[in-house]
Amino acid sequence: IQLTQSPSLLSASVGDRVTLSCKGSQNINNYLAWYQQKLGEAPKLLIYKTNSLQTGIPSRFSGSGSGTDYTLTISSLHSEDLATYYCYQYNNGLTFGSGTKLEIK
């Protein structure tokens, strides 16, 4: 399964509501996770099984979706959310999307 993330680059202001998209080439059956990777760091798990928040992750992060289309939403952008975000499917093989780089205006 191939994953297409959009946009590849997103610029937003602190306090904005931000939505990142991930589209699969086939049905993912909700086996989709989201990772945050800050510059020079290892990826961090944010969301798994479409909408389950990983322990310790702020509630401003949420996930939704079904079938082939999934979304990561940050309800109110913080400056520390500057990072690249990857979606990851584990329904059929294991694949990552190409990432969305989130910049703070």
Partner 1 sequence: EVQLVESGGGLVQPGRSMKLSCAASGFTFSDYYMAWVRQAPKKGLEWVASISYEGSSTYYGDSVKGRFTISRDNAKSTLYLQMNSLRSEDTATYYCARHVNYYVMDAWGQGASVTVSS
Distant-in-sequence, close-in-space partners of 78: CB < 8 Å, separation ≥ 6: 14, 58, 60
When asked if residue 94 is in the footprint of partner 1 (CB under 8 A), the reply is yes
Of 35, 68, 71, 72, the one binding partner 1 (CB under 8 A) is 35
Of 10, 51, 62, 96, the one binding partner 1 (CB under 8 A) is 96
When the beta carbons of 16 and 54 are compared against partner 1, the nearer one is: 54
Structural contact between residues 37 and 43, judged by C-beta atoms closer than 8 angstroms: yes
When asked if residue 24 is in the footprint of partner 1 (CB under 8 A), the reply is no
Of 16, 31, 60, 104, the one binding partner 1 (CB under 8 A) is 31
Q: How far is Cα 18 from Cα 74, in angstroms, rounded to an integer?
A: 5
Of 2, 49, 75, 78, the one binding partner 1 (CB under 8 A) is 49
List the strands of the sheet with 61-66, edge to edge. 3-6, 18-24, 69-74, 61-66
